[in-house]
Structure 1
């Protein structure tokens, strides 16, 4: 399943401990299970805890503790439900004053898991005010640290999620917390962050897939820059984050409801046609290439070949009805699981099949032309070869991406703002691009839904200048 796939057990650490990683690549997060052969502790589980329970079963261990590094803003936590299902102790920061049964944790607390494994609690404010990190210790001492949104791989967690008024103070805390961790641990200690593998919770893109304290001492800005320089660099690099984050912390603070993955109601062809005509969020889960070849008129392309959950959660009005359309029931189930991770549970319905099978008539299907940056260069220079004129070049990347480099004369509207700003796009066929083609396809589908003609530039943005596209001065 996309975004659920990698569950990797680490090699044996000191004292025979192992750490398994349960990755959710669609959200850029990782959960962890640390075990000594008999018992296990879980850190920052995603909402679909069946993956974690399966890993514990594979290792033949019993989960006795579940720990949260912070009240998460980018996903609904599975910690409370996992503790209920396993009888494990649930640890969260005392200062968060959680309204459900839990063990309140403070800086310096030690959680004895067995004679061979313990966890030491370290207060590391920065990503949030009450953020905790957890040092995993074996019989010979510390072997690594679960850093949540504190010290990441080559970066740190962003500091503006609690509001811009706190971002500078939290950046200073983040700098101090990173140094607190490295001063308390040997250079060979592993770092196991929750965020930073594509998550918008990281301040800047991470570097690498694994690291230890020694490596971070050489490359992490929190450890190589003075405090004031780190703070300014961190704040200047922050871009927008997904709108659905506003709802995650609220759910996690009060205690999420148990997960329900029963299949949604089946939508008939007539019901699909009604919802499409009403401009509802009817989502095409197929690949962007399949969408371009043929799709239902008015449907929105957010395929499972990309971060569907992030972009849908970012663009919709919270609570708006969502209908999923896939080729198979497996695609629908996968998308349902993805959406449940950010609290979108009550789906309006689902349908499966090919566009021709789901349309109420032949006139209700469409195709969308695709092109490369070489094609765009040819059009810009008057060498048109069977493609419509580029009346408008629309860039749907983020602000930071656009500032770094962009096509000369391009209209810039980030994908997450596009539906509300369609009226700003000049007349003419819209050639829409992003960094690779996924967001461009989603943008083209929103344009077509509004009655505009679009061409999808399904190409890597790095090819634009090489192809001869006119670029703005950087």
Structure 2
């Protein structure tokens, strides 16, 4: 018999896997914080005999090298991946014995990267599951534009061929276990569902139901923005990531927080957006610890800039620290916990800004008051409809374009409220009068606000 344990990395929209038999296991695409993988192996009572990477990751820092070092496992890396550390190169068709009757077979599936490799778990020669990394996902495939712009169309064509190769080789009941596709920006589109099989994908996956030319044209037309920090992930993974240090950061008092702000460092408040709006340290930014912290903080912060974390409890700091190491923000410069009053000097006060709904915005517009509506959604989201007269600056561009926001009171919105809170904190930090619209975008039309829908034109 065999087992497969799934390790969710929800903030990044990824999954890692531990699979094996009664004595040995393989860890596939492990996260940077390897203690989670080792704990899973300990619960199963197995040793980690292999660590397998499907590709050189562009969206997170891998824990593969450190896990292999600590566990003594063989580190399987696709031959075409150019890396600077000792490993076992893997070619198409290579097979390793995992446990009694259990084996792992490599299948070349280029497309997400030129060297991308999937791994098929076989029991007594029969395929049971396929670890497909960024190749065949749930309903879609991994995006092909993260390596080199000049290779994008070529890799898109390779993705189509690779998806068909897996479908041709494997039976309907074989589980498909991707790394990306659960909210990751490595996915070419977002699909519904948490589990799938080869048979299910044959019926619905866009790479398997469309001809190559249609699939490629649709994929290239639908590619979304690439988080800025992706630029740094590949080189870190190729060089060999350093072990992580998850010991608590140094504590900062109110005076030190003030000094760090004055020095231009980032002070990030991890509390929920309601609490932040009600009272926060002037100049601090709000990235909710329960949101997509790693994705958006790593996307917006200038790379390498020191960051100080503020939270209610040490546990919240530890959770954020763990998540940030996965995207290469290894050590917070400092941290503080407690109540926001503890974070300001005696001669200073907390600041705040209002929150509102789209119905409130409709009322204010009806009154004729002069205001600015700022839409911080991505281009792909705005293309499905936007508020008439709104200004559009995607959240990831706002730090560099904040001077383009017209003068006046700013009502900032996104699709649900989280990114609007981030944007509101950025605007508040530079002294703008801001109101954060904490509402689902569907409520805008319900409130009577006029929307423009570009896709209906023509």
Give unpaired runs (5+ residues) of structure 1.
1-15, 384-388
* Alignment partner, residue 256 of structure 1: 241
Among residues 38, 63, 81, which one is paired with 1:96 in the alignment? Answer: 81
1:198-209 equivalent positions in 2, closer than 5 A? 198-209=183-194
Equivalent positions of 1:435-474 (< 5 A) are: 435-474=415-454
Question: Secondary structure at 2:267's aligned position in 1?
Answer: strand
Q: CA deviation at 1:363?
A: 4.0
| Gap regions ≥5 residues in structure 2 | none
Q: Does 1:182 align with 2:167?
A: yes
Residue 66 of structure 1 aligns to a residue whose secondary structure is strand
Q: Aligned match of 1:124 in 103, 109, 114? A: 109
- 1:347 Cα deviation from its structure 2 partner: 2.1
Residue 390 of structure 1 deviates from its aligned partner by 5.9
In the other structure, the counterpart of 1:391 is 371
Residues 378-417 of structure 1: matches in 2 within 5 Å?
378-382=363-367, 389=369, 391-417=371-397
1:426 aligns with 2:406: yes
CA distance in 2, matches of 1:146, 1:327: 39
Q: Which has the higher mean CA deviation after the structures are superposed, 443-452 or 32-41?
A: 32-41
**Offset of 1:308 from its aligned partner?**
1.1
1:189 and 1:158 mapped to 2: Cα distance? 23
2:158 paired with 1:173: yes
Q: CA shift at 1:331, angstroms?
A: 1.0
The superposition leaves residues 337-364 of structure 1 with CA deviations (integer Å, 9 ceiling, x where unpaired) of: 1111111113211111211121113643
Q: How many Å separate the matches in 2 of 1:194 and 1:432?
A: 34
Alignment of 1:211-222 (within 5 A): 211-222=196-207
Query: What CA distance in whole angstroms lies between the structure 2 residues aligned with 1:362 and 1:211?
Result: 58
Match of 1:326 among 311, 335, 339: 311
Would you say the 8 A contact 1:286–1:326 is kept in 2?
yes
1:81 matches 2:66: yes
What pairs with 1:8-407 in structure 2 (closer than 5 Å)? 16-139=1-124, 141-361=126-346, 363-382=348-367, 389=369, 391-407=371-387
The one-character-per-residue Cα deviations of 1:422-454 (angstroms, maximum 9, x if unpaired) are: 111111110000111100000000001111010
Q: CA deviation at 1:140?
A: 5.3
Alpha-carbon distance in 2 for matches of 1:184, 1:312: 41
How far the C-alpha of 1:75 sits from its partner, in A, is 0.5
Deviation at 1:91, TM superposition (A): 0.3
CA contact (8 A) 1:126 1:172 kept: yes
The residue matched to 1:34 in structure 2 has which SS? strand
After superposition, the C-alpha distances for 1:162-192 in whole angstroms (9 at most, x for unaligned) are 1221110000000000000010000111000
2:420 match: secondary structure: helix
Contact kept, 8 Å, 2:282 with 2:350, in 1: the verdict is yes
Contact 1:277 1:298 (C-alpha < 8 Å) held by counterparts? no
Inter-partner Cα distance in structure 2 for 1:239 and 1:452: 29
**Greater shift after overlay, 238-247 or 95-104?**
95-104
Cα offset for 1:473?
3.5
Give 1:333 deviation, angstroms: 1.0
Moved beyond 6 Å, runs of 4+: none
**Aligned partner of residue 221 in structure 2, secondary structure:** helix
| CA distance in structure 2 between the aligned counterparts of 1:292 and 1:362, rounded to whole angstroms | 21
Shift of 1:278: 3.9
Report the Cα offset of residue 472 of structure 1: 1.5
Is the contact made by 1:390 and 1:431 (CA closer than 8 Å) also made in structure 2? Answer: no
Q: TM-score, normalised by structure 1?
A: 0.94
SS at match of 1:232: helix
Q: CA RMSD in A?
A: 1.2
Deviations 1:446-466 (A, max 9, x none): 001111010010011111111
Q: 1:95, 1:443 → 2: CA distance?
A: 41
Are the equivalent residues in 2 in contact too, given 1:38–1:60 (CA < 8 A)? yes
Residues in 2 aligned to 1:321 and 1:154: alpha-carbon distance in whole angstroms: 39
Count of aligned residue pairs for this structure pair: 454
Change (3 A) 1:97 1:472: closer
